[in-house]
Structure 1
């Protein structure tokens, strides 16, 4: 096997977390390795072009469909590997454009794939509806997040929210006492992070804030990933039973992404 083929194999197996198909190496037949490598490069470059063009709204839907139809029957390895590389590239571009803080010491335990996953969540759910195609995230959505502060500023609502979550988790998690004692601090942390995302500095510090204000307190109390998953599930869903709360749509959109990112980031 040629040196070039080995490099492609390593890239496709080690850099791909989006599907099992590309983890199996399909050895090209003798005499066709060079063509195989060229196909990988062409597909990758094409998909990058599509991504950049779509972001600038200059690539028509019809052209994209025709181009995709041309190569959608290529071997699974090619397509999966190219799509994985494109997702990684999109994450890099998104983080660079948004200038997220990722170099702090407390974030060094996170891998590139952790950040890439979170970038995918932000792109998929927080950029929908943006008028300016060059915008990082939807401005109106970020502005509406300020309305969530009522969850922690209203004492009765905060107490009711805590009671609902505790009722759901009693006897189901090992750190129930710790959760009950720290519920209000954890809730304030998540809501305050949301309400400050309209400010550039706070927006860029999203990941360091999640680590310092939520993940580290849970880790210090020895929450398991199972405890955290159950807590976030009921913490998010119980809001729908609060009669005085009127921002469920914004809440679900915010917590859907935050919950996924926290669970991805919660590891050693």
Structure 2
């Protein structure tokens, strides 16, 4: 652990690292992570009191503190590369790919509670002054929160300069992040760019992980297959066609309700008292479809669907949505007086309900835990 980097040296006056072509950069990751947490040298020194045997029994405090300071100088040197990971190519002979990837993923990892709170706002530069207040509210260390915030801004700005999609692929390739971390940042970009409102009371119980799951489903089902850039990403033509669901009358809602109820009862779930609740769910689903054009309200409207079925079990809700995926939309349209519904194809209906199934299951499950 206490590698002194024989070929990596400090300039005493500037306290900066300088690297020769033959230098191997050796990062002490436990110390690196403690620096990221905002720990001071004396606090990190205590870290070396643990282990078997404790490092403080093997080395003097002066040697350990010197190592800690060396690692801090190394961290400051690497910070500009971490902020612009594509520049790591310059250090390809000094830093092995495994350590580079670990550095990037460690540096860009963030607290989900902090991210969830930020997403209630526009993540603009003006919000940075409120970071300490948010950290205090969440009772988490302040110093790392500024890094989380700056990283979000960095990724958002880089995306704004390119507008390339799919978003997850852009993040993963540009910042060399792990798949999971790229999905997390893609969620932040997606929610911020399209100004989804996730701050309303009805959806406040959704965790960052919930928002990520829902965002990934929306990007899977409700986006265009080959968009040129972010302006063409959300399939607004699909939303325009589904807007015709505003013409589904009470008879149409009743027909779909009977179909879903029969499927639920075939599985041994629900009872006659469930009919009105199922009808309320179906009605809210048609309302959701009709209002997808109002993109920023999608999460709120998903919450309304889940709330309408709050008296149903998770299994019953899944059965209803499975039934709707199998529903013969063409036959349904032929029975209705409004021919405008014929604009909605079977594929449109399947895309709509398949996404709803994944999203509403997440919302319904989280709501049952929260309440």
When the two structures are superposed, what TM-score results if normalisation uses the length of structure 1?
A: 0.67
Structure 2 equivalent of residue 71 of structure 1: none
SS at match of 2:199: coil
Give the counterpart of 2:333 among 231, 244, 248: 244
Identify the structure with bigger relative contact order (alpha carbons < 8 Å, sequence gap 6+): 1
Give the counterpart of 1:234 among 320, 323, 327: 323
Task: Answer yes or no: is 1:185 the counterpart of 2:280.
Answer: yes
CA displacement, residues 213-251 of structure 1 (integer Å, 9 cap, x when unaligned): 2212322x2x22111111111133123473535431111
Structure 2 equivalent of residue 218 of structure 1: 309
Task: Answer yes or no: is 1:126 the counterpart of 2:222.
Answer: yes
Quote the Cα distance in structure 2 between the aligned partners of 1:177 and 1:7.
61
Quote the Cα distance in structure 2 between the aligned partners of 1:7 and 1:127.
40
CA displacement, residues 118-141 of structure 1 (integer Å, 9 cap, x when unaligned): 111111221224655222512211
Q: RMSD between aligned alpha carbons?
A: 3.5
The structure-2 alpha-carbon separation of the partners of 1:239 and 1:180, relative to structure 1 and needing over 3 Å to count, comes to farther
Give yes or no for contact 2:187–2:215 (8 Å, CA) kept in 1.
Answer: yes
**Structure 2 residue ranges without an equivalent (≥5):** 1-28, 37-70, 75-94, 109-154, 335-341
Quote the Cα distance in structure 1 between the aligned partners of 2:102 and 2:192.
26
Quote the Cα distance in structure 2 between the aligned partners of 1:127 and 1:171.
34
SS at match of 2:206: coil
Quote the Cα distance in structure 2 between the aligned partners of 1:162 and 1:39.
51
Quote the Cα distance in structure 1 between the aligned partners of 2:329 and 2:292.
23
TM-fit CA distance, 1:84:
1.0
CA displacement, residues 31-80 of structure 1 (integer Å, 9 cap, x when unaligned): xx9955433345899xx79x9487437xxx9xx9xx98xxxxxxxxxx8x
Count of residues in Structure 1 that have an aligned counterpart in Structure 2:
215
Task: Answer yes or no: is 1:94 the counterpart of 2:190.
Answer: yes
Quote the Cα distance in structure 2 between the aligned partners of 1:108 and 1:154.
31
Structure 2 equivalent of residue 207 of structure 1: 299
Give the counterpart of 1:141 among 238, 249, 259: 238
Quote the Cα distance in structure 1 between the aligned partners of 2:330 and 2:261.
14
Give the number of the structure whose alpha-carbon radius of gyration is greater. 2
Q: Which moved more, 1:138-147 or 1:122-131?
A: 122-131
CA displacement, residues 88-131 of structure 1 (integer Å, 9 cap, x when unaligned): 11110010011111112232221101001111111122122465
Quote the Cα distance in structure 2 between the aligned partners of 1:82 and 1:128.
25
Give the counterpart of 2:289 among 173, 183, 194: 194
